[in-house]
Amino acid sequence: MPLGLHRTNSCVDIDFTLRRKFKRTAFRPLQRDVIVAALAGDDVFVQAATGFGKSLCFQLPAVIDHGITIVVSPLLALMTDQVNALLAADIAAGTINGNTLYEEKQRLLQDLATGHPFTRLLYVTPEQCASEHFRKHLKVVYEQKELARIAVDEAHCISEWGHDFRPSFKELRWFRDNFPEVPIICLTATATEQVRNDCINILGLSPSKLKVFTMSTSRKNLHYEVRFKSDEEDHFDDFLNWLKGAHRRRAENMIRRAELKKEGKRLDNFSGIIYTIFRQDCETLAARLRHHGIGAKPYHAGLRNDEKNETLQRWVNNDKGYDVIVATTAFGMGIDKEDVRFVVHWQLPKSFEGFYQEAGRAGRDGKASMCIMYYSREDRDRAYNRLSKDNIKEKLNLAARAKSLKALVDYCEDVETCRHRIITKYFGETEIPECEYACDWHKDSAKLKRAKQNGLQSEEWVSTQREMGRYDSGYDGYD
């Protein structure tokens, strides 16, 4: 007899659980269908925009179903954040990762060893899943028919064609090989068709029982804009003017003013993230902004853990002095702060998907938010340069990464197309996304063309400078 669970759930429970446990009044489009498929025991592949609400797609079934759900994620911040939120909702959840205290880890392992765990959702890293000790415990749970489901978050990490390939994700195939009846749900915001196929094949999702849900990657409340620059000028003033302008407009808008007052919010609490590539930029840029009265703080891997935690917490709480975080890549992934009003890329990031995910930290409450990319041809060349150096170190998926970077450069250089359209097309969508003046091209295409003409150095100038060795890569490693 197969060791899978006997499923007797009825859809009637779903709305009740949504309201009672998750304190939400209605599902977002397709969330219900995903949850119904998961509860029916199907394998599920979900691709949906950043901020769509993918977590609910495995959390709600985990609460309804009998047994434990193992959630595999590469993002430590996400695990802690989600576990805390679940515990606050009185749902038994835990995480085992590199930061878990010894006692807590032992408690969770003992819970598994009973075969009938009390924990409903256990968040683990892919590395943890590869440990023999952990696997032994999971087998006990499986034999007791208490292993409800495996959820693989950020599933694109499985594919060598993904922007964030992690070899440890490939080992997750072990679940299907050892627990063939236990359904798997995998979720991502960023998968091209190739990445999607890789996820399905590598995890061994069964074609006969697989439900694929792909939703548009489009986020219509995000306003995308590219601002052109060159090495010859500092774009700090351009950004400062934009930010001060946003503060001013808030102050002048009587209705908004009254709303903020009622909510007890500061006028200058215009929360945002600036992504930079270099640690040094985080420090200097944050200091320059502070000098101009902006509450800005740096965040990078060179800071102490307690400093980073304090900065993150105070930014999430909207404390004065913590409005803008100047961070190296990947800051905020897994942090569910809903009122981020802008995300700025100070330089060209290293992949299209990385750009999309980082920009996607903005406007998770559905309100209009800005995503500004500062682009120069010198930055473009430096990005290609770093790519080749990274590859010397890692020897990993160079072709995929070069393709992704090229797509991002094309996005920046394109002054003939809606930005939302470029993004959805990259992810293989054919439908034209809605864009109501939510990109620089739709707002004023002639102005955009002029800005490119005036703002970028010509290719000839860039190549001459390169040949003369006038700029180096400034590269000291990503965080």
Ligand X SMILES: Nc1ncnc2c1ncn2[C@@H]1O[C@H](COP(=O)(O)OP(=O)(O)OP(=O)(O)O)[C@@H](O)[C@H]1O
- Using CB under 6 A, pick the residue from 9, 17, 21, 24 that binds ligand X: 24
Least distance CB 128 / ligand X (angstroms): 20
Helix axes 12-20, 31-39, angle to 10 degrees: 120
Whole-angstrom distance, CA of residue 424 vs CA of residue 216: 7
- Strand intervals (E) in 282-387: 296-299, 324-327, 342-345, 369-375
Residue 102 C-beta: closest distance to ligand X, Å: 29
- Which residues, 342 to 381, sit near ligand X by CB under 6 A? 360, 364
In the complex with ligand X, which residue's Cβ is closer, 26 or 113? 26
Q: Is 50 in the site for ligand X (CB under 6 A)?
A: yes
Whole-number Å distance between alpha carbons of 405 and 415: 18
Q: With binding defined as CB under 6 A, does residue 183 bind ligand X?
A: no
CB atoms within 10 A of CB 10: 8
Q: Least distance in Å: CB of 46 to ligand X?
A: 9
Measured from the CB atom, the residue of 138 and 340 that comes closer to ligand X is 340
Q: Which of 155, 157, 189, 226 binds ligand X (CB under 6 A)?
A: 189
Q: In this chain, which stretch among 23-31, 123-131, 400-408, 438-446 interacts with ligand X, using CB under 6 A?
A: 23-31
Interacting span for ligand X (CB under 6 A) from 43-51, 127-135, 305-313, 448-456: 43-51
Q: Least distance from C-beta 345 to ligand X, angstroms?
A: 17
- Which CB sits closer to ligand X, 48 or 205? 48
CA atoms of 285 and 440, how far apart (whole Å)? 25
Q: How far is the CB of 427 from ligand X (least distance, A)?
A: 13
Cα distances from 307 to residues 250, 299, 311, 314, in angstroms, run 31, 9, 6, 11
* Residue of the chain from 52, 169, 352, 375 that contacts ligand X (CB under 6 A): 52
Tell me if 51 contacts ligand X by CB under 6 A: yes
13 makes contact with ligand X (CB under 6 A):
no
Q: Which is nearer to ligand X, 31 or 100 (CB)?
A: 31
Tell me the window of 21-29, 90-98, 373-381, 416-424 that interacts with ligand X (CB under 6 A). 21-29
CA 58/CA 42 separation, integer angstroms = 12
Residues 6+ positions from 155 with CB-CB distance below 8 Å:
45, 169, 186, 187, 188, 191, 199, 203
Give yes or no for residue 219 binding ligand X (CB under 6 A). no
- Asked if residue 41 binds ligand X (CB under 6 A), the reply is no
Residue 196 C-beta: closest distance to ligand X, Å: 15
Shortest Cβ 92–ligand X spacing (Å) = 19
Does position 31 interact with ligand X (CB under 6 A)? The reply is yes
217: contact with ligand X by CB under 6 A: no
The contacts of residue 99 (CB under 8 Å, 6+ apart) are 76, 80
Complex with ligand X: residue 318 or 391, whichever CB lies closer: 318
Task: Report the residue number, 46 or 108, with the smaller CB distance to ligand X.
Answer: 46
Check the CA dihedral 58-60-64-70 and report its sign. Answer: positive
Nearest-CA neighbor of 124 among 65, 199, 42, 68? 68
The single residue among 3, 30, 36, 56 that binds ligand X, judged by CB under 6 A, is 56
- CA-CA distance, 44 to 239, in Å (whole number)? 43
Least Cα distance to 63 among 10, 4, 18 occurs for 18
- Residue among 34, 35, 55, 163 that touches ligand X (CB under 6 A): 55
β-strands 121-124, 272-275 pairing: unpaired
Q: Tokens at residue 93, please?
A: 């959840």
CB count within 10 Å of CB 387 equals 16
**What six digits make up the tokens of 455?**
């703002």
Nearest CA-CA partner of 200 in 27, 378, 209? 209
Between residue 230 and residue 289, which ones bind ligand X under the rule CB under 6 A? none
Q: Per CB under 6 A, does 331 bind ligand X?
A: no
Q: Does 336 bind ligand X (CB under 6 A)?
A: yes
Q: Where on the chain is the footprint of ligand X (CB under 6 A)? A: 24, 27-28, 31, 48, 50-56, 189, 336, 338, 360, 364
